[in-house]
Amino acid sequence: MSIRQQIIDKLDTNFNLISIAEGYSFDIDGHVYEWRDLPLKDEELPAIIYRDPFDGTSDEDEQEHELTVEVVLFAVGTASPTVVRVMIADILTNFKLITQEDFVTGARHINNEMDVEHIKKRYAAAVLTFTINYYTEIWGT
């Protein structure tokens, strides 16, 4: 299995740990999806959708990779801006678990955006962007 896939598998495992019992502010309840593009139902929220859209190599060392990961959080109901900020902090705390893996040489939080709107209910979304560094053999993933 490629290192990139190992990273994605570990992120999925880590995101599924998000629960009040584990010290986070919310329960994800298994609503963690890789590259999902189907609309989410209210009963599936809160939810996390993650993607790995870009994997670049260093100009100085072709074995060094920088994987871009986007994490999207969706929430409904009591998702006030304050609550969403706390949820973002929880995702940041959870994401840094990836740095404990032997196959990861570093990770960085690039930025995050959030939006909260009222339609019939209050809906909120946040997009967090990260990079993860790792090494492979030349031409590896």
Quick: pLDDT tens for 66-94. 999 999 999 988 778 899 999 999 999 99
Query: What is the tally of helices (H) and strands (E) in the chain?
Result: 2, 5
Regarding the domain delimited by 3-135, which CATH topology (the fold level of the hierarchy) does it fall under? Answer: Alpha-Beta Plaits (3.30.70)
Kindly report each contact of residues 77-80 with a partner whose C-beta sits within 8 Å and lies 24 or more positions away, as own/partner.
77/45, 77/121, 77/122, 78/122, 79/46, 79/116, 79/122, 79/123, 79/124, 80/116, 80/122, 80/124
pLDDT in tens, 21-72: 999 999 999 999 999 999 999 999 999 999 999 999 988 888 999 999 999 9
Amino acid residing at 106: G
CA-CA distance, 32 to 61, in Å (whole number)?
34
What pTM was estimated for this model as a whole?
A: 0.93
What kind and span of H or E run contains 123? strand 122-135
* 77/117 Cα distance (integer angstroms): 11
> Does 110 or 137 have the greater pLDDT score?
110
pLDDT at 28: 98
pLDDT score recorded for residue 24? 98
Going from the C-alpha of 90 to that of each of 24, 83, 102, the distances in angstroms are 6, 11, 23
pLDDT for the residue numbered 59: 86
3-state class (DSSP) for residue 37: coil
Domain ranges (residues) in the chain = 3-135
Task: Give the pLDDT confidence score for residue 3 in this predicted structure.
Answer: 97
- The answer to whether residues 4 and 52 touch, using CB atoms and an 8 Å cutoff, is yes
